[in-house]
Amino acid sequence: MIHSLFLINNVGDLFLEKHWKSVISRSVCDYFFEAREKAGEPDNVPPVIRTPHHYLINIYRDKIFFVSVIQTEVPPLFVIEFLHRVAETFQDYFGECSETTIKENMVIVYELLEEMLDNGFPLATESNILKELIRPPNILRTMVNTITGSSNVGETLPTGQLSTIPWRRAGVKYTNNEAYFDVVEEIDAILDKSGTTVFAEIQGVIDACVKLSGMPDLTLSFMNPRLLDDVSFHPCVRYKRWESERVISFIPPDGNFQLMSYHISAQNLVAIPVYVKQNISFFESGSSGRLDITVSPKQTMGKVVECVVVTIHMPKVVLSASLNATQGTYKYDPLTKILVWDIGKLNPQNTQKQPNLKGSLSLQSGAPKPEENPSLNIDLKIQQLAISGLKVNRLDMYGEKYKPFKGVKYVTKAGKFQVRT
């Protein structure tokens, strides 16, 4: 199982080590540094690295490498999932997962890691349970603790730890009982030069924020559950009822959690909310090029497309850009070679005047015409719309007497949305 964990920042400083079994010398990380160097970009470091006596399985999150050491045959996905869970827990506890926050809360970090694994076996990874064992830091509590001498470590066994519903603690009480659900869909798409869809799919999640007293038993149903044929549920969801009735029945964890994720594949028709017309060309001579991009809305079911941003990674030889945007602002960073055009809202009414970015690019003189075609990355957001058409029908609560306040919000975003040129 997981033997040790090393945290390494993106300049290669090892700033935390934790061993769950015998101590492994940090020199084992030299193999990691070697691979890191070879990879160039931090994103390109291979997740599994073989060394003569160990395996290093690592993830890169928030500019930190989480490098775990294993010695025996362990499912790598298990380790990777766990490492992500560690990163999420830090995020959850300290607001952000960064070298600074981890160093600031070193002792809590250590306590958390000790609580999450025992002998390399996961022990408590549910945020609910961890928070009962180790209270997250906040200024007020630190003050109170210093005055009263009490600690931030829970003294009793977390209630959820062993029940059949380990994700929920007992005795939850709220004065305002509320349950909110966010249906968030991300469009992953590749469009080719001409604007036709090469590939598109929707990654959806339903995030929940449930603050309900007692032991509520909820049932969520959809208007069109047939859309969902590929789903992953939070452990609280009763799979059998989904199989037979296509409703989501569950006793929720307390607080924020991801109820389910789903995937609507390329086979179904995925609506693409914007239309992008673009032309980026470089001339053989004269060390220059032209750029002309137009973005217009389509198929948005009457909703406004907001926060539209176009990002282009230019070839290395592009020195500067002299462009004119009819809407929004553009910025070209000659160091990173990234051109960002922040458009803002796309107005569906005004079909005549579509946002357009046009102008010339100047290249390093004497350099050959770039070989690669830069890709456009599109970011966007549509409020109050799930692009797949998924709609929540109703939410019912059983087991408790009070009437909760309920709400559902929809939002569509661009995921990995890419236009080839």
Site string for other proteins, 316-345 (x = CB under 8 A): ------------------------------
Among 30, 34, 104, 396, binds other proteins (CB under 8 A): 104
405 makes contact with other proteins (CB under 8 A): no
Q: Residue 117's CB: how many other CB atoms inside 10 A?
A: 23
Site string for other proteins, 290-319 (x = CB under 8 A): -------------------------x----
284 makes contact with other proteins (CB under 8 A): no
What's the closest the beta carbon of residue 293 comes to other proteins, in angstroms?
17
43 makes contact with other proteins (CB under 8 A): yes
230 makes contact with other proteins (CB under 8 A): yes
86: Cα separation from own chain's centroid: 14
71 makes contact with other proteins (CB under 8 A): yes
46 makes contact with other proteins (CB under 8 A): yes
Can you read off the two tokens belonging to residue 238? Answer: 């009763």
Can you read off the two tokens belonging to residue 294? Answer: 């137009």
Spatial CA neighbour of 60 closest among 78, 34, 87? 87
71 or 221: CB nearest other proteins: 71
Which of 104-112, 273-281, 346-354, 381-389 is the region at the interface with other proteins (rule: CB under 8 A)?
Answer: 104-112
369 makes contact with other proteins (CB under 8 A): no
Exposure on the CB side of residue 291, measured as CA atoms within 13 A: 27
16 or 346: CB nearest other proteins: 16
What's the closest the beta carbon of residue 327 comes to other proteins, in angstroms?
26
Return all residues near 158 (Cβ < 8 A) that are at least 6 apart: 124, 128, 129, 132, 133, 169
What strands lie across the sheet with 55-61, from one edge to the other?
14-19, 2-9, 64-70, 55-61, 48-50
Site string for other proteins, 199-218 (x = CB under 8 A): x-x-x---------------
What's the closest the beta carbon of residue 285 comes to other proteins, in angstroms?
16
Residue numbers 144-173 binding other proteins by CB under 8 A: 146, 149, 151-157, 161-162, 164, 166
Q: What CA–CA distance (Å, rounded) separates 308 from 276? A: 12
Among 95, 96, 110, 398, binds other proteins (CB under 8 A): 110
336 or 350: CB nearest other proteins: 336
Among 30, 63, 106, 144, binds other proteins (CB under 8 A): 106
Return all residues near 363 (Cβ < 8 A) that are at least 6 apart: 282, 287, 288, 289, 317, 318, 319, 370
Q: Residue 131's CB: how many other CB atoms inside 10 A?
A: 18
What's the closest the beta carbon of residue 266 comes to other proteins, in angstroms?
4
Radius of gyration of the chain (CA): 25
81 makes contact with other proteins (CB under 8 A): yes
Which of 197-205, 247-255, 327-335, 403-411 is the region at the interface with other proteins (rule: CB under 8 A)?
Answer: 197-205
Q: Per DSSP, what are the bridge partners of residue 52?
A: none
DSSP 183-242: EEEEEEEEE-TTS-EEEEEEEEEEEEEEE-SS--EEEEEES-GGG-SSEEE-TTB-HHHH
288 makes contact with other proteins (CB under 8 A): no
Give the number of residues written for the chain. 421
Burial class (CB within 10 angstroms; exposed 0-12, middle 13-18, buried 19+) of 80: middle
